[in-house]
Structure 1
Amino acid sequence: MAHKRGYYLDEIKIGMFAENKLVVSAARIDTFAEISGDYNPVHMDEEFAKTTMFGRRIAHGALSASLISAILGNDLPGPGAIFVELNLRFRRPAFIDDEITARAEVAEINERTGRIKMKVSCSVDGKQIIRGIAGVIVPKRPIKRPKED
């Protein structure tokens, strides 16, 4: 994969946004459980999940939220950005075969600290399943110094 440069702070504007999509599958849930160590049967066991308020297996909330991290690290601000804060509210779950759309939008820019706040969300079929705020430190453009003779 070719390296792509992320945005510098002076290129970031309020209202800029990026989106990412993922279809939830049983295999993705199983892989996420292995990575995270979260084997809650509401995620892993169809028979158990049928006895819950959801009636079927649900994706880990952190699996859905990981799409936000992917946007911040890959797209906006992108490579070089440092993800430092995340405050989320989980409104409803995602299920197997749901397509999750994650979105991150620049809401505030602090030029002194190099930090931005982004409104973040995930939705399925236009219904919000997660919403919150992310804090990201964005690199400032390198200072070009004249060459010495």
Structure 2
Amino acid sequence: MFDRTGTDNLPRGTICIEDLEIGMSRHLRKQVTDRDIELFAEVSTDRNPVHLDESYAQDTIFAGRIAHGMLTAGLVSAVIGEQLPGHGTVYLGQSLRFMAPVRPGDVVLAEVTVTAIDHSRRRVTLETRCAVGDTTVLKGEALVLAPSRKFD
């Protein structure tokens, strides 16, 4: 479940596989700005007008501009790479389902939760979710190679 108390992002760093436990969870909150959307369009080269042109976007099923889905997914990547497991983690795979749009100005809560640990292979399975208020906007599952003290 989302910890909706407080607004600060959790500390960054590394949790080695030896210290991970099922149910362990970390999150971050980020307000998605127009600048974020513009920068993501520039870096990704995805200039779909539904993200950048309000008049165009008004005539779509979204009735207004939305953030790139992968920008929202990138917040999940930030939690994994910075908090759980954190620095040294290698992404192996990610499934995603986009449930609702994220609009400029929305505050996204991105959370990952440990659901399985394979110590012998250093593999960790994480439930991944993003929400805007009470609305789940993204859900999925990530498989990562976790850092280990044995390989330092």
TM-score strictly above 0.5: yes
Paired residues of 2:13 and 2:83 also in contact (CA < 8 A): no
**1:113-132 → structure 2 map (5 Å cutoff):** 113-132=121-140
1:43 and 1:143 mapped to 2: Cα distance? 43
Map Cα deviations across residues 8-64 of structure 1 (whole Å, 9 max, x no partner): 111000000000111111111001100110000000101100000111100000000
1:84 aligns with 2:118: no
Corresponding position of 1:9: 17
1:58 aligns with 2:73: no
1:52 and 1:75 mapped to 2: Cα distance? 37
1:42 and 1:133 mapped to 2: Cα distance? 27
2:151 and 2:109 mapped to 1: Cα distance? 37
Change over 3 Å in CA distance of 1:68–1:143 after alignment to 2: closer
Partner SS state of residue 35, structure 1: helix
Partner SS state of residue 112, structure 1: coil
2:147 and 2:108 mapped to 1: Cα distance? 29
**1:1-149 → structure 2 map (5 Å cutoff):** 5-142=13-150
Q: Which runs of 4+ in 1 moved over 2 A?
A: none
Partner SS state of residue 92, structure 1: coil
2:86 and 2:148 mapped to 1: Cα distance? 13
Length-normalised TM-score, structure 1: 0.91
Unaligned runs of 5+ in 2: 1-11
Length-normalised TM-score, structure 2: 0.89
If you compute each CA radius of gyration, which structure gives the higher value, 1 or 2?
1
Identity %: 35
Map Cα deviations across residues 82-134 of structure 1 (whole Å, 9 max, x no partner): 11110000011100111000000000000111000000000001210000000
Change over 3 Å in CA distance of 1:143–1:96 after alignment to 2: closer
The alignment covers a number of residue pairs equal to 141
